[in-house]
Amino acid sequence: MLAQNLRTRSKVFSAIATSFSALQAIVIAITPAHATEPADTIYRGGEIITMESDEPQYVQAVAVKDGLIAFVGTEDEAEAYIGSQTKQVDLEGHTLLPGFIDAHGHVWNTGFQALAANLLPPPDGEAHDIASVIQITKDWADSNKASIDKVGYIVGFGYDDAQLAENRHPTADDLDKISADIPVILLHQSTHLGVMNNKALEMVGYTAATQDPLGGVIQRKKGSQEPNGVLEEMALFNPLFAIMAQLDQDANTKIAIAGMNAYAAHGFTTAQEGRATKAVSETWRSLAESGELILDVDIYPDIRGDADYLREVGTTHDYENGFRVAGAKLSLDGAIQNFTAWLSEPYKKPLPGQSSDYAGYPAIEDNSEVESIVELAYQNDWQLLVHTNGDRTSDQLIEAVRKVRGDMGDADRRTVMVHAQTVREDQLDSMKELEIFPSFFAMHTYYWGDLHREVTLGKERAYRISPAQSALQRGMMFSQHHDAPVALPSAMAILSAAVNRTSRTGDVIGPDQRISAYDALRALTIWAAYQGYQENLKGSLKPGKLADFVVLDQNPLKVDPASLRDIKVLETIKNDKSIFTAK
């Protein structure tokens, strides 16, 4: 009897369970997913590229909740996320992508550039000869007397001797025509050179008796030891950093905000401070604490000058109000266009006064010192970004990493070779083996491609500048950067350069190193996110990632490659909040 009752109860319970399961299935089928959690915003009505796969992948809609992506998929599926308060954004046929990530730049210096006299050559400015450099700077000085009184200097940024009609640098005597009484400093577009007037030279203490600093050169008047005003590398940086250190918090903040605004206007939602001083780092921290950062800022203090600061604050993969000290920066040489990058073979046409075997020079001659710096970074788990332009400098880094990695193991360190301009095929093999991540500077092909072909490197080496296709063939990820303020922080200029590699004169600088528009976009989004340990947070459109977007007026994957540079940023969105809208 008991057994029969148990069997009867079992059948009843089984029937109830079956009915409940059926009812549950019906409820699930008719109840929209997340119906109790409507989205804050739905984006649809345009071409939405997720950057989530090896080939272009499109969706019709993106839903956002609390600054994070909640859904990507079809418009019909997105209906389930619409509530009474949901904002619905019609893209009007335009293209939405993940926000661009600055793989290497100097956002504070970009603000400095934006506020200084614009001495860039066409098409980014109007400085085409020394007379125009002088006049532009004088006009700026007349309009910025309050800033000059506060800072104590007249400052211009962006001249390029290779694009000036005279094909030379301005000199101290030239700059005295701007002012003989107020110190004048003009920075070269590369940021690796600058020129001072005689008053500025006097104030920083440069005379005929001053020796060249280690890693720098004070250029001299012909037949004399008197400085001519032109300063290379550390000869510029030493006094310049001292001058900038005198800026007060208000000035630093204004410069930082100008830099952020410039980045946002070009679609960047993450910026990099690629060689930060302690003062600049703390400016960004202060802005974060007061809630004034409109985008994320990755800070990389100089490991040689600010190692104590790095030890004090440490590094992290996590943001606090958009701020993080992400790692350390090390610079090992200069710039090719300035003849200060360290090459394994001589420059094609050295400058007057340089020998026929001149091949540039390193920032650090002692290889053991480079190894010690790499070891310091590895011991403290500081990600290391290393500036190398010349291939001999790249050898210096590769061998240091090989040695230290052999001693300390192959943890996921993601050491970045910044610029990697002249890396050879054998060096790419070593970089892949040692997991050194390349961040290429393809924009050189436009700005200085002709100079590299004819003067600095010669055709064979110039055509291999930033060899992205060679990296792709090895299955390597890489990023592409603008190095602002060396160039304007334009993602579209990066994209165009990586895809077309066209110089100012129309020559294709290395046709076999061109890459597809999609791979170039990956180098600005998901691969750049990986470089900074952010691939689970940024760089693609996927539920759980930040709602960082850029809206473009055209789809980069569907336009004529020659018109990529002309694509306009219509809006930049950070954490679902608009930080730039085109007028």
The more confident residue out of 115 and 347 is 347
pLDDT at 16 over 50: no
Contact in structure between 325 and 301 (CB atoms under 8 Å): yes
Verify cis geometry, omega within 30 degrees of 0, for the bond prior to 121: no
CA-angle at 105, arms to 102 and 107, nearest 5°: 95
Sequence-distant (6+) residues with CB within 8 A of 532 are: 101, 103, 270, 298, 317, 326, 383
Q: Is residue 558 part of a domain?
A: yes
* Number of helices and strands in the chain (H, E): 21, 23
**What is the pLDDT, as a whole number, of residue 148?**
86
Contact in structure between 564 and 500 (CB atoms under 8 Å): yes
Structure confidence by residue, pLDDT tens digits, 471-514: 999 999 999 999 999 989 999 999 999 999 999 999 999 999 99
pLDDT at 466 over 60: yes
Read off the tokens for 23: 């009812």
pLDDT at 111 over 80: yes
Distance between CA atoms of residues 262 and 533, nearest Å: 24
pLDDT at 23 over 50: no
- Could you tell me the end-to-end alpha-carbon distance of the chain, in angstroms, rounded to an integer? 85
CATH of the domain at 566: 2.30.40.10
**What is the pLDDT, as a whole number, of residue 4?**
41
Q: What percent of the chain has pLDDT over 70?
A: 94
Confidence label for 467 from pLDDT (cuts 50, 70 and 90): very high
What is the count of structural domains for the chain?
A: 1
Q: Is residue 492 part of a domain?
A: no
Structure confidence by residue, pLDDT tens digits, 280-315: 999 999 999 999 999 999 999 999 999 999 999 999
Helix spans in 380-516 (H): 391-408, 425-434, 444-447, 449-451, 459-462, 468-473, 491-500
Q: Is residue 194 part of a domain?
A: no
**What is the pLDDT, as a whole number, of residue 470?**
98
Place of tokens 């804050």: 40
Q: Is residue 309 part of a domain?
A: no
- Mark 397-419 as b/e (b = at least 16 C-beta within 10 Å): bbbbbbbbbeeeeeeebbbbbbb
82-88 long-range Cβ contacts below 8 angstroms, 24+ apart: 82/38, 82/39, 82/42, 83/38, 83/39, 84/38, 85/38, 85/40, 86/38, 86/39, 86/40, 86/41, 86/42, 87/40, 87/41, 87/42, 88/41, 88/42, 88/44
Read off the tokens for 453: 């072909």
Q: Is residue 315 part of a domain?
A: no
pLDDT at 457 over 90: yes
**What is the pLDDT, as a whole number, of residue 113?**
87
Structure confidence by residue, pLDDT tens digits, 359-415: 999 999 999 999 999 999 999 999 999 999 999 999 999 999 999 999 999 899 999
Confidence label for 264 from pLDDT (cuts 50, 70 and 90): very high
pLDDT at 92 over 90: yes
Distance between CA atoms of residues 221 and 219, nearest Å: 7
DSSP state of 513: G
**What is the pLDDT, as a whole number, of residue 147?**
83
Q: What percent of the chain has pLDDT over 90?
A: 84
Domain span at residue 50 reads 33-93+545-583
pLDDT at 3 over 70: no
Q: What is the mean pLDDT of residues 532-554?
A: 98
Read off the tokens for 462: 């110039």
**What is the pLDDT, as a whole number, of residue 367?**
96
Q: Is residue 556 part of a domain?
A: yes
pLDDT at 166 over 60: yes
DSSP state of 26: H
Distance between CA atoms of residues 438 and 449, nearest Å: 20
**What is the pLDDT, as a whole number, of residue 240?**
86
Q: How many CA atoms lie within 13 A of 325 on its CB side?
A: 25
CA 102 to chain CA mean position, Å: 3
Confidence label for 241 from pLDDT (cuts 50, 70 and 90): confident
Q: Is residue 563 part of a domain?
A: yes
Q: Is residue 142 part of a domain?
A: no
